Amino acid sequence: MIDRSTIERILDAAQIIEVVQEFVPLKKRGVNYLGLCPFHNEKTPSFTVSPSKEIFKCFGCGKVGNSVNFVMEHEHLTYPEALKYLAKKYHIEVVEKELTREELEKQNERESLLVVSAYAARQFSENLFRSDEGMSVGITYFKERGFRQDTLKKFEVGYSFEKRDAFSKKAIDDGYKTDFLVKTGLSIQHEDRFYDRFSGRVMFPIHSLSGQVLGFGGRVLKTDAKTAKYLNSPESEIYHKSRILYGMYQARKSITQEDRCYLVEGYTDVMSLHEANIENVVASSGTSLTQEQIRLIKRFTPNITILYDGDAAGIKASLRGIDMVLEEGLNVKIVLLPDGEDPDSYSKKVTNEDFLKFLKENETDFIRFKTLLLLSEANNDPVLKANLIKDIVKSIAVIPEAITRTVYIKECSTVLEVPEPILYNEVNKLQRQKNFQDRNKYPGPEDLPVLPTVITKQIQQGPVPIYSEREIIRLLLKFGTFEFERTINKEDGREEVLSVSDFIVREITGDGLLFNDRVCGKIFADFRFHTEHGLMTGDKQFVKHEDPEISSLSADLLADSHELIRIWKDKQTFVETEEMKLKDIVGDVVLKFKSDKIIILRKEIMSQLEEAVKSNDIEKVLILQKRYANLSVALGAISRKLGNRILL
């Protein structure tokens, strides 16, 4: 672990322009620098680097962050790895911190599980290639499936002996602790005996991005076995099924080179595609895709092609998961394999060239694919067709990019024989709902200076991050040290200056209000500490914060485009800065924050009230009703102050 003071030295030394320029040619434009975004494809530059704020922001894809975030994202590094990279660049010696006992234990356990897993992979591999049973059972299986020796080595496949405790016994004899054998799931304890989870199976090690063995998949070979065909390692400190894609370690380089990732279902599909010279392939191992897996792919490419071999029902069931892929802004294509073929069998039936050609010629946009599939089912039934249109519109509405949405709407209009404006209308409706929810996450320039004019029921139902929380933090970061007001102390006649952060901290802590968003809460606590101790704190401390959650939220908030407020007056545009209207804006945002909190509180009381009514607790009903009424009065007062800008 890198100690705190070294991290600070690294963050201080890193100059964002120097760091970015190593990968992206930049040109100076005013106070900022401009270049082509390395994170998405673009022809006109929208990637901006601000040396004064020490952040980058792409106005095309929305990526934002500080030097460390840039290195992490660009080089696919973890936070400590990125820090070490920067340390090297700026010739800073990295002092690794001594770990606490607890950290050491946790790390040791993780290490131990990795060591045991690596040992198991070696054992299984030896069993396969160097034992009679392995050769006659395991190798025979792989040969029958047509796999080459170099592929077996590449994926480090192995074999676990038929005998129920062969592996466990050997591991214990070799000095491995039973505790770790059980925690990795390799062994199962029954009373004081240890049995093998994977006995009689061919073994597929599942690797981390850097090639460490995290877990295993095992395939049973006996056809009459009364057990699952495939068995996976259970969840452990090192193996989290939802975060892993099989083959990612072997595929990562090729995915970046080809700028595309093929997704298949099984271990042997991945291996077969490698034999067909397609190396940019991963498998979800039978489970439906998770958001973490999608984000893992997105680190390497925005283009994903899913190979389907199932029947219509199976495909229909998996369509839901694909909306999630669209939502992440990935381009999804589908290839349907010929009847009765899976990627494994089909890639072996035709030549490599023909297989690749087949993939390229048969890939369809996901939306088109889904439309045609569902349309073929709906036939001429108007009710089914109406449902289908709703379904498709929902998929289109989650796509973050407007141009892509437009293309799909045009296409669906033709295929479905529905006029474009109707589809637009439906998509826009869903988008508005979604935008509202998103505004809690990403404030847009249209949101200021007038505060959001509607509070709909959605806020009451409380998606956790609240827009006004982010606004409070943004104002603290940007204007915390600015003067809010000046007053004369009546007793000694001295002038007192109240800063923006003094005012905000006083208002919020005075009413005992808390932040719902964890990261906003962390930043606020820091401001509160500084303010209460008479210290100043600036935006840089947060943008460079060692906690990556804090640094990236700060960078995001500081990079927004609220700098100018346009005011229309007699058909002329006046430009005012936020700074010129600071007092009004800060006051309004604090009020908005309070009203948001009251609304949530009222909602909570309302559900308690319902409970109390159900259980005939008259006393409680009265108390809650009073509290509800008090809150409503307070809310009314706030909205009058805000000048009817909040509709309740």
Binding site for Zn ion (CB under 5 A): 37, 39-40, 58, 60-61
Task: Report yes or no: 427 and 565 within 8 Å, Cβ to Cβ.
Answer: no
Least Å distance, CB 31 to Zn ion, is 20
Phi-psi region of 201 (alpha: psi -120 to 50; beta: other; left: phi over 0): beta
Tokens of 606: 């309302």
Tokens of 336: 């349907």
Rg over CA atoms, the chain? 30
Nearest residue (CB) to Zn ion, 32 versus 608: 32
Tokens 């430009």 correspond to 575
Bridge partners (DSSP) listed for residue 196: 187
Least Å distance, CB 476 to Zn ion, is 28
Least Å distance, CB 61 to Zn ion, is 3
Could you tell me where the DSSP H helices lie in 131-210? 132-133, 140-144, 149-154, 166-173, 178-183
- Containing 585, the helix (H) or strand (E) segment is helix 582-614
What's the rounded Cα separation, in Å, for the pair 602 and 624?
A: 10
Nearest residue (CB) to Zn ion, 444 versus 538: 444
Nearest residue (CB) to Zn ion, 65 versus 217: 65
Least Å distance, CB 34 to Zn ion, is 12
DSSP-derived secondary structure letter, 137 = I
What's the rounded Cα separation, in Å, for the pair 440 and 458?
A: 11
Interacting residues of 444 by C-beta distance below 8 A, sequence separation 6+: none
Interacting residues of 341 by C-beta distance below 8 A, sequence separation 6+: 309, 349
What's the rounded Cα separation, in Å, for the pair 431 and 420?
A: 16
Nearest residue (CB) to Zn ion, 39 versus 467: 39
Nearest residue (CB) to Zn ion, 292 versus 401: 401
Least Å distance, CB 230 to Zn ion, is 39
Nearest residue (CB) to Zn ion, 46 versus 362: 46
Q: CA neighbours within 13 Å on the CB side: how many for 472?
A: 34
Nearest residue (CB) to Zn ion, 67 versus 232: 67
What's the rounded Cα separation, in Å, for the pair 647 and 638?
A: 11
Tokens 């092609």 correspond to 305
Least Å distance, CB 138 to Zn ion, is 47
Nearest residue (CB) to Zn ion, 58 versus 87: 58
What's the rounded Cα separation, in Å, for the pair 407 and 198?
A: 49
What's the rounded Cα separation, in Å, for the pair 84 and 94?
A: 7
Nearest residue (CB) to Zn ion, 146 versus 329: 329
Least Å distance, CB 11 to Zn ion, is 23
Nearest residue (CB) to Zn ion, 328 versus 546: 328
Least Å distance, CB 58 to Zn ion, is 3
Integer CA distances (angstroms), 101 to 104, 108, 177, 537, in order: 5, 10, 20, 33
Least Å distance, CB 554 to Zn ion, is 20
Nearest residue (CB) to Zn ion, 60 versus 548: 60
What's the rounded Cα separation, in Å, for the pair 98 and 100?
A: 7
Least Å distance, CB 564 to Zn ion, is 23
Least Å distance, CB 280 to Zn ion, is 22
Nearest residue (CB) to Zn ion, 39 versus 515: 39
DSSP 459-527: HHT--SS-HHHHHHHHHHHHHTTSEEEEEE-TTT--EEEEEHHHHHHHHHHHTT---SSHHHHHHHHHH
Nearest residue (CB) to Zn ion, 69 versus 125: 69
Count the Cβ atoms, other than its own, within 10 Å of residue 68: 27
Least Å distance, CB 50 to Zn ion, is 15
Least Å distance, CB 49 to Zn ion, is 12
